[in-house]
Amino acid sequence: MTKEEFKGRLISVVKEYIRDEEGYDDNAQLCIKPATMDAYLADSREVDVESPDIECYDVMELVEMNPEGKWKVDEASVEAVAEEYFK
């Protein structure tokens, strides 16, 4: 997987959250399994953030509000997360 493919996967997961933000708790997590580079959303109460098998990011750190008052992907934050895996 390339950095751009991984970044695309992260963007897809963040967009999934934006489409259904009411379906997640206030501390929804974007979780990444470094061994497989899989990324997914989880409610904070459903994920063990201390697990050595996953790394979690508060999904709210990966969104920003546009001028119309709607959530959108924070491209710079997603880039920063992707960079952590492709140094």
pLDDT in tens, 5-46: 999 999 999 999 999 988 888 899 999 999 999 999 999 889
So what's the pLDDT on residue 48?
A: 87
So what's the pLDDT on residue 82?
A: 97
Is the sign of the CA dihedral 59, 25, 40, 48 positive or negative? Answer: positive
DSSP E strands, the chain:
29-33, 38-42, 55-58, 63-65, 71-73
pTM: 0.91
So what's the pLDDT on residue 4?
A: 96
pLDDT at 50 over 90: no
On average, the pLDDT of the chain sits at 94
30/54 Cα distance (integer angstroms): 10
Q: Which of 8, 2, 21, 3 is nearest to 75 (CA)?
A: 8
